[in-house]
Chains A and B, each alone.
Chain A
Amino acid sequence: MEWGEGGSRFAGAMGRSVGVLWLWLLLLVGIWGYAGWHWWNGFPVETDLSSLLPTEEQDPWRKIAKDAVLKEISSRITLLVGHEDGASARAAAQRLRQALEQTGMIVPDLPAPETAKELASLYFPHRNSLLSDADRRALLDKREERPLVARTLGQLFGLAGTVDSRLLAQDPFFLLPSFLLHLPTPSRRLTRVAGELQTTGEGKTWILVSGKLTGSPYATAFQQPFMTAWTTATTEAKQHWPSVQFLRMGAIFYAQAGTEQAIGDSSRIAGVSLLLTVLLFVVTFRGLQPLLFSLFAIANGLAAGFVVCLILFDHLHAVVLLLGSTLIGVAVDYSLFYFTQSFSTRAAPAARLAKTQVGLLLGMLTTLLGYACLAVSPFPGLYQAALFSMAGLLASFLTVVILFPRWDRTPLQTMPSFLLFLVEWLARPWVDKAPARRRLLVGTLLLLALAGVGRFAVDDDIRRQQQPSPLLQEEQKRVQQLTGWGQTTQFFLVEGKDDEEALQRQESLADRLFQMVADGVLESWFGTARFVPSRHRQEENRQLVSARLGSAGLAALHEQTGLTFVLPPTPPHYLTLDHLFAAGTIPLLRETRLQDPDTGRIGHLIFLVGLQQVESLRRGTEGLEGVRFVDPSADFSTLLGRYRERALVLLSLAVLLTMPMLIGRYGWRQGLRAMLPPLTSCVLTPFLLALVGIPFSFFSAIALVLVFSAGIDYTVFCAEAGYPDPPMLAGVCLAALTALFSFGLLAWSQTAAMQAFGGAMFIGVVIALLLAPAAMGTPRSRDA
């Protein structure tokens, strides 16, 4: 009982002390002034989805690589402009490209038509150092020159017009054309016609428009003008060529659709939540004062949340807007519990506060505990939202306990009939002396949960938690089909002390990858070693060419043709990555080379194309020194799984921390009884979620933490009443209803993660509400 008395004294002192009153008013002025000043200058809202991603990565190289890949992929856009008439498609594409480039928001990233020649010129002196894998295997493994001799003969006597005498004189075994032919290209389905890269399909000619963004696709300040320029350019093009079609692929389009959906979701949910809450107040209290006071408490909470985030982070994340909107549903509870005392015989505001203050304080502390658990989640966005909510809840609580008793002039009134009905319906199983209703209620819940046991499944796969725009996904699929691009999100990272070591390690990896391509594990890959072999490999190639082709090869050619050929001279130096980077002819190649700023070590990224069997690839490339397979989605899903488990540990911690508070206040027997409803709710909710087809995930796990906090609120007020106290039970009913209006509505969000969170909140709050009156004690225990 000591704790309860201490809490009571604390809340009471807050309500009575004039010093506390002025201090709080002063703080509120400061909060509103700071918030108002930022409002005037425009709130800095961040929509960068990558900042939502957890940063918990033990391996620094993996983090460097993931950041680089994310930045590189997200900064590119790929567009296809299609028309039945090739000339119209080209004209429309040129107009679109010009319009977008004029804004300065994209720069071209495709190689110029002459780059193929430049690349051939760069390679030409090194032609006997550069062997395609097939040629190298023929010379190295089979130890024979016949296939290469046969190729030359095939060219020499082949179908009309296909051989070039100048090349033949300088590269008689066509080593360079073979090397160039086997270079990885993003798409061989694209052909250059009249300076444009084009493909055909779906009865149309498609022209490629590609570019690199000059700003962050996630920053609203960049995203909005870009989308405006895109809409204007495509609308104008459609006016000139009505049947022109555009296909998009790029992170900026997904980011914009995501932002639109998040803002749409949050404004819809917040709007409906606010509307239902206001309606509930008006219908329940039939006066403006409780509504205005509550809005004031909520507004103070929101302002305090904004201010704390702006001070700590300098900006607000879009996800805070979404999750912050749910704060309304919690902050309103304090006002509700206070004002439902107007349905009692307590006319004096001080008496109303005295009756509710322990419950308010206990409720506030347990909810803060719940949000503190969110704050230690791996998502920076959730961390910000948790701090926002904790600051907001504290401000709302202080507004209620400090200001309400002083300003409250609401008269005593009768409880509205709908609320009375709800209270009676809620209390009935627990006030009946016969246990039939209680058993029916608990039995039904247990049976439903039992039915869900068979369907219970855990799903941490991040790909199923997101729901990108189906339209954009469809367009991306068509772009990939038309161009033949099939780049996957998985990649290899090959590390070495310098480029030479990294290239040699890439070559060891390549030996396995070539075999996997033959086995259908993947279609191709893109990495620096395919463009520039290591010095070691170049030297090996020179020796192979000299040993196998220099004598026997040339002799065989002479014998068949009567012509005399010579091998190319050996160049005085080796081809290096720097040579290729300086020429700048291959897009994306420079970006695959990374350097650790701390150690100076080098990392090379290997992008995979058309990956069919992830596990075979992973297993088949194990044991290679310095080679890491990186699967960001799988890593992220594993991380989500780990944090799902951590959320459950945090829930257990919240239970353990709450227990002494309740036992201290109500004694062993009653304290444990008060713990039972929220605990039961947390245990049954995952199985009931399974029953409606929602698998258990990290997002449902964190919802359970909040379900427990809300459930404790309800049982504390029921336990405080100790007997069926209609005003107190009315407060519990109204608090649960507002929680359902805010959190529960997220179950109708279009984002799967939010749906899982909202679904768990909805089911959990309903169970917690139904079982909360158990904390009052059964009739028998009360009689005793």
Chain B
Amino acid sequence: MVGTGQILRGRFIQERRLQGFGKPLLSEGRFTLAPGQGLIWQLEHPFASLLAIGPHGLTQRVGDNETLRLNVAQLPFLDTLRQVFESALSGSSTGLNALFIVHQEADVMELTPRPSTMQVEWRIQRLRVRLGRFVDEVEIWKENGDADLLHFREQVLQDSPLEKEEQALLSAAGS
């Protein structure tokens, strides 16, 4: 579990299977999670890209191009999205209970969305989270058959604050 004031850093490998497209899309990179402050999702392979979700919104850059900038004042659901990712990656079921029906057996959490409380149509059918000391693996199944499989490794919990650049990145995200 990651507490407030702590930072979780690690690496991820994402395997994405899309219906109608033959081979899966593989990507790899690093992430930084600071509960209450946001998430930095940094892709290294097959190309460099950076996604920052902060309290004010979301910004994505691919290479030199800013490809997405969404403000939480314009799209309030972004705040919920940030909380979902924060809760899921920090393995906190309490943060997810409001939005999902959580069923946990041993080190595996199964989540299905509560339709009435979802603020946007996310089309997620179910999530499966395998827990170790932190979250080791996440599977996301969508209604249309698309699926994402995420493996997390080299996870380190730090009590030190975010780097200045990271703080700036998160506070500027979406604004």
Chain A interface (Cβ < 8 Å from any Cβ of B): 146-147, 150-151, 153-154, 156-161, 163-166, 168-169, 188-189, 191-194, 199-200, 484, 560-563
Check: B77 CB closer than 8 A to any chain A CB.
Answer: yes
Contact pick for A163, options B16, B65, B73, B76, CB 8 Å: B16
Q: Which residues of B contact A199 (CB under 8 A)?
A: 76
Q: Are B18 and A151 in contact, with the CB atoms below 8 A? A: no
CA distance A168 to B144 in the complex (A): 12
Q: Are A154 and B119 in contact, with the CB atoms below 8 A? A: no
- Chain A residue with Cβ nearest B149: A160
- Chain B residue with Cβ nearest A199: B76
Q: Are B67 and A157 in contact, with the CB atoms below 8 A? A: no
Q: Are B122 and A161 in contact, with the CB atoms below 8 A? A: yes
Q: Are B62 and A166 in contact, with the CB atoms below 8 A? A: no
Q: Are B85 and A159 in contact, with the CB atoms below 8 A? A: yes
Chain B interface (Cβ < 8 Å from any Cβ of A): 14, 16, 18-23, 25, 27, 41, 43, 46-47, 49, 51, 60, 62-63, 65, 67-68, 73-77, 85, 116-117, 119-120, 122-124, 138, 140, 142, 144-146, 148, 150
Q: Which residues of A contact B27 (CB under 8 A)?
A: 157
Centre residue among B16, B18, B67 by max chain A CB count within 10 A: B67
Q: Are B25 and A156 in contact, with the CB atoms below 8 A? A: yes
Q: Are B22 and A563 in contact, with the CB atoms below 8 A? A: yes
Contact pick for B25, options A147, A151, A484, A561, CB 8 Å: A561
Q: Are B16 and A156 in contact, with the CB atoms below 8 A? A: yes
**26 A–B contacts from the bound complex (CB under 8 Å):** A147-B65, A151-B67, A153-B62, A154-B62, A154-B67, A156-B16, A157-B14, A157-B16, A157-B25, A157-B49, A158-B41, A159-B51, A160-B140, A160-B150, A161-B124, A165-B18, A168-B21, A191-B76, A194-B116, A194-B117, A484-B73, A560-B46, A561-B25, A563-B21, A563-B22, A563-B25
Other A-B contacts than A157-B16, A191-B76, A560-B46, 18 sampled, CB-CB below 8 A, are A147-B65, A147-B67, A154-B67, A157-B14, A157-B46, A157-B47, A161-B122, A165-B18, A188-B73, A189-B73, A189-B74, A191-B119, A191-B120, A193-B119, A194-B117, A199-B76, A200-B76, A563-B21
Known: A151-B67, A153-B47, A189-B74. A163 touches B62 (CB 8 A): no
Centre residue among A157, A191, A193, A194 by max chain B CB count within 10 A: A157
Contact pick for A164, options B23, B73, B120, B146, CB 8 Å: B146
Q: Are A161 and B21 in contact, with the CB atoms below 8 A? A: no
Centre residue among B123, B140, B146 by max chain A CB count within 10 A: B146
CA distance A406 to B74 in the complex (A): 80
CA distance A191 to B80 in the complex (A): 12
Q: How far is the CB of B93 from chain A (nearest CB, A)?
A: 18
Q: Are A188 and B75 in contact, with the CB atoms below 8 A? A: yes
- Chain A residue with Cβ nearest B73: A189
CA distance A394 to B75 in the complex (A): 67
Q: Are A158 and B60 in contact, with the CB atoms below 8 A? A: yes
- Chain B residue with Cβ nearest A117: B121
Known: A157-B43, A165-B21. A146 touches B73 (CB 8 A): no
Q: Which residues of A contact B75 (CB under 8 A)?
A: 188
Q: Are A166 and B19 in contact, with the CB atoms below 8 A? A: yes
Q: How far is the CB of A204 from chain B (nearest CB, A)?
A: 14
Q: How far is the CB of B31 from chain A (nearest CB, A)?
A: 9
Q: Which residues of B contact A159 (CB under 8 A)?
A: 41, 51, 85
Q: Are B74 and A151 in contact, with the CB atoms below 8 A? A: no
Q: How far is the CB of B23 from chain A (nearest CB, A)?
A: 7
Q: Which residues of A contact B116 (CB under 8 A)?
A: 194
Q: How far is the CB of B108 from chain A (nearest CB, A)?
A: 17
Known: A151-B62, A154-B49, A189-B74. A160 touches B148 (CB 8 A): yes
- Chain B residue with Cβ nearest A116: B121
Q: Are B41 and A166 in contact, with the CB atoms below 8 A? A: no
Centre residue among A147, A165, A563 by max chain B CB count within 10 A: A165
9 A-B pairs with least C-beta separation: A165-B18, A188-B74, A150-B62, A150-B65, A151-B67, A157-B27, A154-B67, A154-B62, A165-B19
Contact pick for A154, options B14, B21, B68, B124, CB 8 Å: B68
Centre residue among A147, A153, A154, A156 by max chain B CB count within 10 A: A154
Known: A165-B20, A189-B73, A194-B116. A160 touches B65 (CB 8 A): no
Q: Which residues of A contact B119 (CB under 8 A)?
A: 191-193
Q: Are B67 and A150 in contact, with the CB atoms below 8 A? A: yes
CA distance A775 to B152 in the complex (A): 103
